[in-house]
Amino acid sequence: MRLDIFRSLWGYRGSWQQALDEAFSAGFDGLEARIPETAAQRSANARILRDNDAPYIATLFTSTPVLPRQNDSPQVHLEDLRMKLDWAAELGPRLVNVLPGNDRWALGEQVDFFARAVELADASDLHVCFEIHRGRSLYSPWVTLEVIRQVPELRFTSDISHWLVTCERLLDDPADDLSAFVERVDHIQARVGYDQGPQVPHPGAPEYAEHLAFHQRHWERIWRSQEQRGRQVTTLTPEFGPDGYLHHLPFTDVPVADLWQLNQWMARCERQHFHRFTSR
Which pLDDT score, from 0 to 100, does residue 209 have?
98
CA atoms of 132 and 144, how far apart (whole Å)? 8
Q: Which amino acid is at 29?
A: D
Three-state DSSP class for residue 197: strand
Q: Are strands 156-158 and 185-190 parallel, antiparallel or unpaired?
A: parallel
CA atoms of 153 and 144, how far apart (whole Å)? 13
- The enclosing H or E element of 85 equals helix 74-89
Measure the CA angle with vertex 103, ends 235 and 62; round to 5°.
Answer: 55
Which pLDDT score, from 0 to 100, does residue 117 have?
98
Which pLDDT score, from 0 to 100, does residue 280 have?
85
Which pLDDT score, from 0 to 100, does residue 268 have?
98
Which pLDDT score, from 0 to 100, does residue 177 have?
97
Three-state DSSP class for residue 34: strand
Domain topology for 2-278: TIM Barrel (3.20.20)
Contact in structure between 86 and 77 (CB atoms under 8 Å): no
CA atoms of 216 and 210, how far apart (whole Å)? 10
Residues in contact with 142: Cβ distance below 8 Å, sequence separation at least 6, in sequence order: none
Where are the chain's structural domains? 2-278
CA distances 181 to 28, 47, 62, 131, 185, Å, are 27, 36, 21, 11, 7
Residues in contact with 162: Cβ distance below 8 Å, sequence separation at least 6, in sequence order: 132, 133, 134, 139, 193, 198
Contact in structure between 129 and 32 (CB atoms under 8 Å): no
Each residue's pLDDT expressed in tens, for the chain with a length of 280 residues: 999 999 999 999 999 999 999 999 999 999 999 999 999 999 999 999 999 999 999 999 999 999 999 999 999 999 999 999 999 999 999 999 999 999 999 999 999 999 999 999 999 999 999 999 999 999 999 999 999 999 999 999 999 999 999 999 999 999 999 999 999 999 999 999 999 999 999 999 999 999 999 999 999 999 999 999 999 999 999 999 998 999 999 999 999 999 999 999 999 999 999 999 999 8
Measure the CA angle with vertex 229, ends 263 and 194; round to 5°.
Answer: 35
Which pLDDT score, from 0 to 100, does residue 279 have?
95
Which pLDDT score, from 0 to 100, does residue 128 have?
98
Which pLDDT score, from 0 to 100, does residue 11 have?
93
